[in-house]
Structure 1
Amino acid sequence: MTALANLKLTNTRKPTQQPAIVQCRNKLAKRIWEQMELARAQAQGNTYTSKQLKSIVSTEGVRKTVEVQKRVKPWWFESDNGKVCVHIRYGSKVVELAKGKVTVELASREELVPTLDIIKSAVISGELDAQIEAVSGQLRAGFVRR
């Protein structure tokens, strides 16, 4: 029992639900992490595909879950002046990072991963909550029943 005596023991339970904005932050942070992995793989000359679970029904009517590869499209492109530009997507919508600004301009591809890491930390700390709320509202409006 001497090993446990050095630890601070509490009676805290794990929360059963997270606030909606925290779920949105986690979703966007995961997508940014995928973009970082894609950029690292392309820098090394490799390909990157993410895996996801998909439920399918066989011809016999049996439902089973299989792991499939998900294609990850890059969020960056090269502009007319030769600079690399990155935009952040939430679903199919581009997130407005500042008033009227949707892209981050970089001098080269070497700056891509550190820039995405900065944006990811901003998302996790809640700096982009208002923009995420606006974009998720636009996405939800497209699914309204008529």
Structure 2
Amino acid sequence: MSTLTSLKLVAAKRPGSLPQIVQRRNRLISKIWEQTELAKAQQAGTAFRPTLFRSVKDAETGGRRNVEVQKRVRAWWWTAENGKVCMHVRYGTKTLELAKGKTAIEIGTLDDLIPTLEMLKVAVAAGELDAQIEAVSGQMRTGFVGK
């Protein structure tokens, strides 16, 4: 019994689900992870193709079966006219407005891409882009209303 007395015991209840903003942060963090892996693969000269399962209807039997397919990941970065690498941050199909009228991050070189993505991931986890995520998800929701 002395072992239990050394622990801090509390009456806590586990929440049923995560708050909506935390779910959105986690979604964006997973997309940033994909971009980081894509950048690492590009630097190594390999291809990054994560796999996922799709349910398809079998033409012969009419039943459904799961098929493993490769997911295509598009890069968020590009080389601008001045020769520097720039990057958008995307949430779904929309580009986040990081500051008033500014939608891109100027990185400089491809070597700085992975550290920039890691800094971006930390910023999202800290909640620094919550307002931008809310604005974009609100725009996306209005596209589904009334259909």
* TM more than 0.5: yes
Structure 2: 5+ residue stretches without partners? none
Query: Which residue of structure 1 aligns with residue 22 of structure 2?
Result: 22
Aligned-partner Cα distance in 2 for 1:107–1:124: 24
Query: Which residue of structure 1 aligns with residue 134 of structure 2?
Result: 133
Kindly report the root-mean-square deviation, in angstroms, between the aligned alpha carbons of the 2 structures: 2.0
Query: Which residue of structure 2 aligns with residue 49 of structure 1?
Result: 49
Query: Which residue of structure 2 aligns with residue 113 of structure 1?
Result: 114
Structure 1: 5+ residue stretches without partners? none
Q: Deviations over 1:73-122 (max 9, x none)?
A: 00000000000001100011000111111111012000000001111111
Cα deviation, residue 5, structure 1: 8.5
Query: Which residue of structure 1 aligns with residue 35 of structure 2?
Result: 35
Cα deviation, residue 4, structure 1: 8.3
Aligned-partner Cα distance in 2 for 1:97–1:130: 10
The size of the alignment, in residue pairs, is: 146
Structure 2 residue matching 1:123: 3-state secondary structure: helix
State the AA in 2 paired with 1:145: G
TM-aligned CA distance change 1:16 to 1:141, over 3 Å: same
TM-aligned CA distance change 1:105 to 1:7, over 3 Å: same
Give the structure-2-normalised TM-score: 0.89
| 1:81 lines up with 2:85 in the alignment | no
Q: Deviations over 1:55-77 (max 9, x none)?
A: 11212122222221100000000
Query: Which residue of structure 1 aligns with residue 69 of structure 2?
Result: 68
Cα deviation, residue 27, structure 1: 0.4
Q: Which moved more, 1:132-141 or 1:47-56?
A: 47-56
> What's the % identity of the aligned pairs?
52
Structure 2 residue matching 1:56: 3-state secondary structure: strand
Aligned-partner Cα distance in 2 for 1:57–1:145: 29
Aligned-partner Cα distance in 1 for 2:68–2:25: 25
Cα deviation, residue 15, structure 1: 2.5
